[in-house]
């Protein structure tokens, strides 16, 4: 499965579905064509991106089943969207958008980087993370899905790497760790300031501990 299909496979039935940073609008089309939401709200900060979604979903718009909002994050969305998707944006941006918007009943998030910041934010807000793993589609991606209630306590490594990855390490997660290991080894071959080297050595140590723990589990 490709990235979009994997994201869509985590979308659950909703009354008001919000696709924040929708770009093409494929995920909203998935919801609409399957009758998984009563109404979809597609928002994007770029009018050009939103125009793509408008073209794709013209038919559903004419039926009043979707609305397009050109805005930053969740600004302009109606209150009470019960499922919010934010995919393809950085983790810090996702945290900012949810902080300035609201925590929906259910969420599906696919941060492009800084997934640990998204996990830490959700846990601090008491959200229940139900799905939290790495997948691969040309690159490595993190998928974090859950609900506003039912928060649990994560350990430091779970925040860093994702609970499902540590509980059931997938091929994609192992490949991601191996790629990270190679990247750090590459960095260490170049000259750099002592502080930077120590920082990389620390990351390398932590990574080796995780890799050992996972291999020991086999
Ligand atoms: C890489 S695309 C991801 C599109 C789609 N969600 C996906 O996962 O394939 C990122 C989209 O987010 C939009 N975007 C970036 N920052 C945003 C923000 N603060 N609020 C709303 N949309 C934003 C961009 O204009 C772009 O269309």
Among 204, 177, 175, 174, CA closest to 189? 204
Q: What is the number of other CB atoms lying within 10 angstroms of the CB of residue 131?
A: 13
> Ligand 1: which atom is nearest the Cα of residue 22?
6
CATH (one of 3.40.50.2300, 1.10.1840.10, 1.20.1300.10, 3.40.50.150) for 3-163: 3.40.50.150
- Tell me the residue length of the chain: 218
> Coil, helix or strand for 103?
coil
Q: Give rounded-to-5 percent helix, strand, coil for the chain.
A: 45, 25, 30
Show the low-confidence residues of the chain (pLDDT under 70). Answer: 216-218
Residue to mutate (ligand 1; options 4, 8, 23, 68; most atoms within 8 A of CB): 23
Residue with tokens 């941060």: 111
> Ligand 1: which atom is nearest the Cα of residue 96?
19
All structural domains of the chain with their residue ranges: 3-163, 172-216
The pLDDT value given to residue 218 = 42
CB neighbour burial string for 78-99, b if at least 16 within 10 angstroms, e if fewer? eeebbbbbbbbbebebbbebbe
How far is the C-alpha of 193 from the C-alpha of 168, rounded, in Å? 37
Q: What is the largest CA-CA distance in the chain?
A: 62
The pLDDT value given to residue 142 = 98
- Compute the distance from residue 98 Cα to the ligand 1 centre, in Å: 14
The pLDDT value given to residue 217 = 56
- Compute the distance from residue 22 Cα to the ligand 1 centre, in Å: 6
The pLDDT value given to residue 120 = 98
- Compute the distance from residue 210 Cα to the ligand 1 centre, in Å: 32
Among 116, 98, 117, CA closest to 107? 98
The pLDDT value given to residue 215 = 82
């Amino acid at each position: 499965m490709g990235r979009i299909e994997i994201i869509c496979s985590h979308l659950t039935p909703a009354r008001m579905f919000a696709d924040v940073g929708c770009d093409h609008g494929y995920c909203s089309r998935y919801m609409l064509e399957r009758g998984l939401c009563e109404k979809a709200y597609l928002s994007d900060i770029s009018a050009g991106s939103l125009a793509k979604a408008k073209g794709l979903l013209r038919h559903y718009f004419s039926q009043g089943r979707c609305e397009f909002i050109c805005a930053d994050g969740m600004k302009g969305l109606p209150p009470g969207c019960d499922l919010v998707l934010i995919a393809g944006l950085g983790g810090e941006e996702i945290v900012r958008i949810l902080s300035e918007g609201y925590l929906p009943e259910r969420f599906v998030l696919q941060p492009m980087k800084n997934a640990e910041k998204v996990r830490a934010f959700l846990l601090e807000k008491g959200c229940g993370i139900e799905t939290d793993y790495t997948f691969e589609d040309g690159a490595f991606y993190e998928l974090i899905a859950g609900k506003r209630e039912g928060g649990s306590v994560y350990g430091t490594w779970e925040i860093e790497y994702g609970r499902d990855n540590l509980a059931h390490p997938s091929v994609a997660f192992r490949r991601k760790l191996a790629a990270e290991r190679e990247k750090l080894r590459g960095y260490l071959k170049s000259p750099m300031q002592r502080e930077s080297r120590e920082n990389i050595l620390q990351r390398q140590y932590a990574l080796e501990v995780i890799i050992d723990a996972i291999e020991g589990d086999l």
